[in-house]
């Protein structure tokens, strides 16, 4: 490509079709030609080149242009309509009062050199493009495809200081899940102890549960505290449009893990690569689609004829119902660890963890119990969002601290959405709605086996009634 750039650069500095000398291009406009050259009588002759739509202006020796002696005698000028140039020139001479017209010479053969040069230049550009394309194809064939086959994993090696920074103490709640996950780490650190008792080291653990409950965060904590290499990869990163790449990346991932054994492989969003295979004929042919080939390779790597020692697979998903049954059987994912929505006590722990990073009026312990009661069914991500919304609300109102009212606002916003301020109710409507909602609240309060009411409101919101 450098050759092409050089040729184009050289061509821009060459004068087209000058038979007598090779000059740098000096173009003038029509007005400059008329008022600075023609009207002063300094033009000796004009050479017209119809094929190039260019005229060459030859000045007298010692011509004076704009009050100065001209350093050059040859100038060029682009002409839009070359056929009417001489007619326009004679009309201009008459209007200027020039008695003897300038001699005009038509050079119809002078552009041959320019044509030859242009042809050679175009040929050189085409040859250069073909050569660069061929080199690019060779690079793709030799090294590009091998790069595509490589697994795009993220290495977390806590021993070398490349940890994610999240520890188990940063993960609030999930006590049972932490214990089960750490068992796998212990299997890798002390395999002889388990083998001496005749136990086989588990091949994998699957973290199940709704979105936002801490599956990925728990995996980050494992990466930091396991003290073994941790290879992390998203399920969607295996699948590509080119056939066979997914299976090749699975092989490369397990090969890398085996070379670093003992090692943990973590696959996030397992449902992207582990979906159940179709029972009918695939539209991609008898061998199955790219996703099925990738899944087949994963099944073989986890528990096939050449299963690998010292490699444990940890995966997470919130769509366990779509996973292939062969993937869920013992020998592949031996443990299914459920990470469900936090309980009341766990919500208190999570609120206390997130409120520590917010500037509050009293201490976080003053709020956590009521906030935990207000947020049944909230995940850890929802609770983090509540704390962040409270801080944003306080900042929006130019407050220096986050107050209880900000936290109440955040809970209402996350649960029911924003207030519908444009849907104002008339006093009569407000009274009817208030009676209706008060009836619900009163019955709920008086019944024996119902929870205590924490808030009653008739404010309409975007998502649903609060």
pLDDT (tens digit per residue) in 111-161: 556 667 678 888 888 888 787 776 665 555 545 555 666 666 677 765 555
For residue 11, pLDDT beyond 50: no
Nearest-angstrom CA–CA distance, 382 and 385: 5
For residue 14, pLDDT beyond 70: no
Longest dimension (CA), the chain: 120
For residue 351, CA distances in Å to 4, 342, 344, 408, 417 come to 64, 11, 11, 13, 20
Do the beta carbons of residue 305 and residue 294 sit within 8 Å? no
Q: Which two tokens stand for residue 157?
A: 């090696």
Per-residue model confidence (pLDDT) at position 392 = 92
Give the rounded percent of residues in the chain with a pLDDT score beyond 90. Answer: 5
The band of 388, judged by pLDDT with boundaries at 50, 70 and 90, is very high
Closest CA to 94 of 134, 43, 38, 49: 38
Count, residues in the chain: 466
The band of 285, judged by pLDDT with boundaries at 50, 70 and 90, is very low
Catalytic residue among 180, 183, 437, 448: 437
Per-residue model confidence (pLDDT) at position 390 = 92
For 302-314, how does the pLDDT look when each residue is reduced to its tens digit (9 = 90+)?
886 666 777 888 9
For 405-443, how does the pLDDT look when each residue is reduced to its tens digit (9 = 90+)?
888 888 888 887 777 777 777 888 888 888 888 888 888
For residue 184, CA distances in Å to 187, 189, 204, 265 come to 5, 9, 8, 12
Per-residue model confidence (pLDDT) at position 242 = 66
Closest CA to 275 of 298, 244, 256: 298
Please tell me which residue, 350 or 108, carries the higher pLDDT value.
350
Nearest-angstrom CA–CA distance, 255 and 171: 31
Nearest-angstrom CA–CA distance, 395 and 389: 10
Nearest-angstrom CA–CA distance, 387 and 407: 7
**Mean pLDDT, rounded, for 303-331:** 83
**Mean pLDDT, rounded, for 66-79:** 85
Do the beta carbons of residue 320 and residue 208 sit within 8 Å? yes
The band of 386, judged by pLDDT with boundaries at 50, 70 and 90, is very high
For residue 284, pLDDT beyond 60: no
Based on DSSP, count helices (H) and strands (E) in the chain, helices before strands: 16, 12
**Mean pLDDT, rounded, for 274-280:** 77
Tokens 């956590």 locate to 368
For residue 5, pLDDT beyond 60: no
Partnered with residue 103 across adjacent β-strands are 45
240 catalytic residue (yes or no): no
The band of 456, judged by pLDDT with boundaries at 50, 70 and 90, is confident
For 196-205, how does the pLDDT look when each residue is reduced to its tens digit (9 = 90+)?
888 887 888 8
Do the beta carbons of residue 387 and residue 411 sit within 8 Å? no
Domains of the chain: 23-106 (3.40.1690.20), 154-276+289-338 (3.40.50.300), 344-416 (1.10.8.60), 425-465 (no CATH)
Q: Before 87, cis peptide (omega within 30)?
A: no
Q: Which two tokens stand for residue 234?
A: 């998203």
Partnered with residue 338 across adjacent β-strands are 208
In terms of Cβ atoms closer than 10 Å to its own Cβ (0-12, 13-18, 19+), residue 298 is: buried
Do the beta carbons of residue 243 and residue 290 sit within 8 Å? yes
Q: 7-11, 254-258, 307-311, 372-376: which range is least confident on average?
A: 7-11
**Mean of the per-residue pLDDT values for the chain?**
79
Per-residue model confidence (pLDDT) at position 364 = 78
Per-residue model confidence (pLDDT) at position 24 = 57
For 27-43, how does the pLDDT look when each residue is reduced to its tens digit (9 = 90+)?
888 888 888 888 888 88
For residue 164, pLDDT beyond 80: no
For residue 214, CA distances in Å to 93, 138, 383, 460 come to 88, 46, 12, 32
Q: Which H/E stretch holds residue 44?
A: strand 43-49
């Amino acid at each position: 490509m450098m050759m092409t750039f050089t040729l184009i650069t050289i061509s821009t500095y060459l004068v087209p079709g000058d038979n007598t000398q090779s000059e740098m291009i000096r173009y003038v406009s029509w007005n400059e030609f008329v008022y600075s050259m023609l009207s002063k009588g300094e033009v000796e002759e004009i050479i017209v080149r119809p094929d190039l739509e260019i005229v060459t202006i030859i000045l007298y020796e010692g011509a004076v242009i704009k009050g100065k002696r001209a350093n050059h005698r040859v100038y060029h000028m682009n002409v839009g309509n070359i056929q009417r140039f001489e007619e326009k020139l004679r009309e201009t001479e008459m209007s200027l009062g020039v008695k003897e017209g300038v001699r005009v010479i038509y050079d119809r053969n002078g552009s041959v050199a320019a044509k030859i040069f242009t042809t050679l230049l175009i040929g050189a550009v085409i040859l250069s493009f073909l050569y660069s394309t061929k080199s690019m194809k060779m690079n793709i064939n030799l090294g590009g495809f091998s790069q595509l086959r490589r697994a795009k994993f993220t290495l977390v090696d806590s021993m070398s200081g490349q940890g994610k920074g999240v520890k188990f103490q940063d993960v609030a709640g999930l006590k049972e899940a932490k214990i089960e996950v750490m068992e796998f780490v212990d299997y890798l650190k002390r395999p002889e102890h388990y083998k001496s008792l005749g136990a086989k080291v588990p091949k994998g653990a699957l973290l199940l549960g709704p979105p936002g409950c801490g599956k990925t965060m728990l995996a980050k904590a494992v990466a930091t505290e396991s003290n073994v290499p941790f290879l992390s990869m998203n399920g969607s990163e295996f699948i590509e449009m080119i056939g066979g790449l997914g299976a090749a990346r699975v092989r490369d991932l397990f090969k890398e893990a085996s070379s670093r054994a003992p090692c943990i492989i973590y696959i996030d969003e397992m449902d992207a690569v582990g979906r159940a295979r179709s029972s009918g004929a695939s539209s991609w042919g008898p061998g199955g689609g790219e996703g099925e080939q990738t899944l087949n390779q994963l099944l073989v790597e986890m528990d096939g004829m050449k299963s690998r020692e010292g490699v444990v697979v940890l995966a997470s998903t919130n769509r366990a119902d779509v996973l292939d049954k062969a993937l869920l059987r013992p020998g592949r994912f031996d443990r299914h660890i459920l990470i469900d929505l936090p309980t009341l006590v766990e919500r208190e722990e999570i609120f206390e963890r997130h409120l520590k990073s917010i500037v509050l009026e009293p201490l976080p312990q003053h709020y956590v119990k009521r906030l935990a009661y207000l947020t049944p069914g909230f995940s850890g991500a929802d609770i983090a969002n509540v704390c962040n919304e409270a801080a944003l609300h306080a900042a929006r109102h130019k407050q220096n601290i986050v107050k209880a009212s900000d936290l109440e606002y955040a809970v209402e916003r996350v649960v029911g959405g924003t207030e519908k301020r444009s849907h104002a109710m008339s006093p009569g409507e407000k009274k009817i709605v208030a009676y209706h909602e008060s009836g619900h609240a009163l019955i709920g309060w008086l019944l024996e086996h119902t929870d205590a009411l924490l808030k009653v409101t008739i404010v309409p919101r975007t998502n649903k009634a609060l």
